[in-house]
């Protein structure tokens, strides 16, 4: 058979860190031998390096493969994979079968090169493939159990299991018998398998801050938000962050490591399932494992005080506290609740009653105008999301929606890889009928081509749209109705011309 007669195929490689025999090179070599024996020519490679096979969302290679195959323009006629487990260790075998079916229905079947069965529709081979899929998923479950049991054993021996040490603490490398070797800097790891890690006190000023945080909660009866505010006001630095917040203070007040305990299992997210909190009675905890920054009695008192303030208080008591604050201040606000030691934290009211707005309603407080800004922001976010979805649907073959991580905003991505930011801006009335639109560039998106959407004075609908080559301001700025700044942008009169206008702006930006 000549080279021109060989059938074009793609290979998919996935390498996790669990076994070296599954390296990308070894997989590719086995696939090449399989291809050569069957008259295939590998014309495309998809790779997911050091990626778990449990879920699809983190596997960019497989996502791109499926997208190319479903589009019908992949340019190859089959997909070669080392074995069933490299395709995925999905916990639901139907998910693995679904992705394979998408390929087969598009005329691009999947071949498992190292499996003892042929991937056809005969009964025996279907049974074997289903069994292999089940075994692949079970392997991950079994591995997760064995790893957790190992972590549990080492924790009960008094050693730290992974993760950053936390404010006020540092990691100390020790031998298996507990003899100290050296303090580990950020990013450093132990190189000898038998070595272990414990926690030791950090710099004196950080240790003192830890003790001050506990004192402010117990003695001054401050809320968590009030403590964070006090730390920021006094200029206490928080390494790696710009300022203190509720979550940082709460972590310090509730984590047993500050009382010298080694602990794991405070939350669970096994096999990429949603992370949930675990009851304290089910934690794996070893008291006296490390040198304590906070003595056991103080820590126990803190947990009672924190629980009483945030969890043990009944709904009726929380509302009574809110009524008392209203009676003493004559009004309610987020800042008043944050800084009042006699009232639960805002997050407590949100978790119990759904929102502060609902809490206010339950005590008969009408909150005049207090949530106007929140309502405007919600409307703007809704308009932005609706517009983004509409564009992605109108140009489904060229444009898709992406979200870079949980807290990042949704963007538009062209098939060429070009990212377009969508920025909705609200108007403010500065004098009589004079309007200004507040443009607040997102730091990570300032260099991207941006679809700038201005809202009408009612904030209910879109006034006009412009495509800007980038955001040339570092911070917030205002523009007028016919602002000269808009001359650097291309007006988008009709959404159907979105791709055309973006392409024109991109060409102009290159020159």
pLDDT number for residue 310: 61
Q: Strands (DSSP E) along 299-389, which ranges? A: none
Pair (202, 176) in one structural domain? yes
Q: Under a CB-based contact definition with an 8 Å cutoff, are residues 446 and 474 in contact?
A: yes
- Which pLDDT score is estimated for 241? 82
Same domain, 328 and 381: no
Does 252 fall in a domain?
A: yes
What percent of the chain is predicted at pLDDT more than 90? 42
On whether the CB atoms of residues 86 and 13 are closer than 8 A, the answer is yes
Is there a single domain that holds both residue 75 and residue 11?
A: yes
pTM score, two decimals? 0.54
Listed range (126-140, 323-337, 374-388) with the worst mean pLDDT: 126-140
The domain boundary, picked from 330, 362, 394, lies at 362
Domain identity same for 102 and 49: yes
Cα-trace Rg, the chain: 29
pLDDT digits (tens, 9 = 90+) for 338-374: 777 667 778 888 888 888 889 998 998 887 677 777 7
- Residues 253-309 have pLDDT tens digits of 999 999 999 999 888 877 667 778 888 888 899 999 999 999 999 999 998 888 766
Among 269, 289, 308, give the residue marking a domain's end.
Answer: 308
* Percent of residues, the chain, with pLDDT higher than 70: 94
In a domain, 161, yes or no: no
What is the domain-level CATH number for residue 110? Answer: 3.40.50.1390
Regarding predicted confidence, which is higher, 246 or 197? 197
Same domain, residue pair 287 and 347: no
64 shares its domain with 108: yes
Q: Give the max Cα distance, the chain.
A: 91
Determine the pLDDT at residue 18.
52
128, 215: one domain: no
Q: Residue 231 falls within a domain, yes or no?
A: yes
Does any domain span residue 245? yes
55 and 129 in a single domain? The answer is: yes
Query: Is residue 15 situated within a structural domain?
Result: yes
- Alpha-carbon span 3 to 9, nearest angstrom: 13
Can you give the residue range of the structural domain that contains 47?
Answer: 3-141
Instruction: Find the mean pLDDT for residues 490-494.
Output: 94
The CATH number of whichever domain residue 292 belongs to comes to: 3.90.1750.20
Residue 309: the pLDDT is 66
Q: Of the segments 19-33, 55-69, 141-155, 476-490, which one has the largest average pLDDT value? A: 476-490
Same domain for 191 and 221, yes or no, is yes
**Is 391 a member of any domain?**
yes
Q: Tens of pLDDT along 178-235?
A: 889 999 988 888 878 889 999 999 999 999 999 999 999 988 888 888 888 899 999 9
Full 3-state SS string of 206-228:
HHHHHHHHHHHHHCCCCCHHHHH
Residue 502 lies in a domain: yes
Mean pLDDT of 73-81: 92
Whether 452 contacts 472, CB under 8 Å: no
Number of folded domains in the chain? Answer: 4
Mean pLDDT (whole number) for 67-82:
92
Higher confidence at residue 403 or residue 77? 77
Residues 177 and 257 occupy one common structural domain: yes
Please indicate, yes or no, whether residues 23 and 122 belong to a single structural domain of this protein. Answer: yes
Residue 229 lies in a domain: yes
Per residue, the 3-state secondary structure of 109-161, as one string, reads: CEEECCCCCCCCCCHHHHHHHHHHHHHHHHHHHHHHHHHHHHHHHHHHCCCCC
Q: What is the pLDDT of residue 22?
A: 66
pLDDT-derived band at 464 (thresholds 50, 70, 90) equals: very high
| pLDDT at residue 129, rounded to an integer | 83
How confident is the model at residue 1, as a pLDDT? 44
Same-domain pairing of 379 and 496: yes
| Cα–Cα distance list, 337 to 137, 227, 273, 349, 361 (Å) | 48, 13, 34, 10, 16
């Amino acid at each position: 058979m000549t080279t021109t007669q060989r059938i074009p195929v793609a290979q998919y490689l996935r390498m996790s860190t669990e076994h070296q025999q599954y390296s990308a090179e070894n997989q590719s070599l086995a696939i090449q031998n399989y291809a050569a024996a069957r008259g295939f020519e590998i014309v495309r490679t998809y790779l997911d390096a050091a990626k778990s096979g449990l879920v699809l969302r983190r596997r960019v290679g497989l996502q791109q493969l499926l997208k190319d195959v479903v589009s019908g323009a992949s340019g190859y006629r089959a997909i070669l994979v080392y074995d069933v487990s490299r395709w995925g260790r999905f916990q639901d075998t139907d998910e693995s079968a679904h992705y394979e079916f998408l390929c087969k229905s598009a005329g691009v079947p999947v071949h498992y090169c190292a499996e003892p069965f042929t991937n056809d529709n005969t009964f025996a081979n279907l049974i074997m493939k289903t069994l292999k899929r089940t075994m692949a998923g079970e392997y991950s479950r079994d591995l997760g159990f064995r790893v957790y049991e190992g972590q549990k054993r080492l924790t009960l021996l008094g050693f730290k299991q992974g993760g950053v040490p936390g404010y006020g603490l540092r990691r100390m490398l020790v031998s298996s018998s507990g003899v100290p070797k050296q303090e580990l800097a950020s990013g450093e790891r132990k190189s000898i398998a038998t070595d272990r890690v414990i926690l030791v006190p950090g710099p004196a000023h950080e240790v003192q801050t830890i003790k001050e945080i506990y004192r402010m909660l117990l003695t001054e009866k401050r809320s968590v938000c009030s403590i964070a505010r006090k730390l920021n006001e006094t200029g206490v630095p928080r390494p790696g962050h710009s300022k203190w917040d509720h979550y940082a203070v709460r972590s310090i007040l509730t984590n047993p490591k500050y009382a010298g305990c080694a602990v794991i299992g405070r939350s669970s997210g096994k096999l990429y399932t949603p992370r949930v909190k675990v009851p304290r009675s089910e934690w794996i905890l070893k008291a006296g494992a490390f040198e304590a920054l906070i003595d056991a009695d103080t820590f126990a008192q803190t947990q009672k005080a924190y629980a009483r303030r945030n969890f043990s208080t009944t709904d009726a008591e929380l509302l009574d506290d809110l009524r008392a604050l209203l009676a003493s201040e004559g009004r309610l606000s987020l800042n008043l609740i944050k800084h009042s030691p006699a009232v639960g934290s805002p997050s407590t009211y949100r978790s119990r009653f759904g929102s502060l707005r609902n809490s206010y309603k339950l005590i008969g407080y009408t909150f005049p105008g207090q949530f106007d800004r929140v309502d405007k922001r919600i409307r703007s976010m809704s308009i932005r999301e609706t517009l983004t979805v509409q564009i992605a649907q109108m140009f489904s073959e060229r444009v898709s929606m992406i979200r870079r991580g949980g807290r990042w905003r949704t963007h538009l991505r062209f098939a060429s890889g070009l990212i377009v930011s969508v920025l909705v801006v609200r108007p403010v009335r500065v004098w009589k009928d004079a309007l200004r639109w507040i443009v607040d560039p997102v730091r990570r998106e300032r260099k991207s081509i941006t679809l700038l959407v201005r809202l009408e004075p009612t904030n209910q609908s879109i006034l006009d749209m412009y495509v800007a080559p980038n955001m040339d301001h570092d911070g917030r700025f205002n523009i007028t109705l016919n602002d000269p700044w808009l001359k650097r942008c291309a007006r988008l009169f009709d959404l159907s011309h979105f791709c055309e206008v973006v392409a024109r702006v991109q060409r102009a930006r290159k020159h």
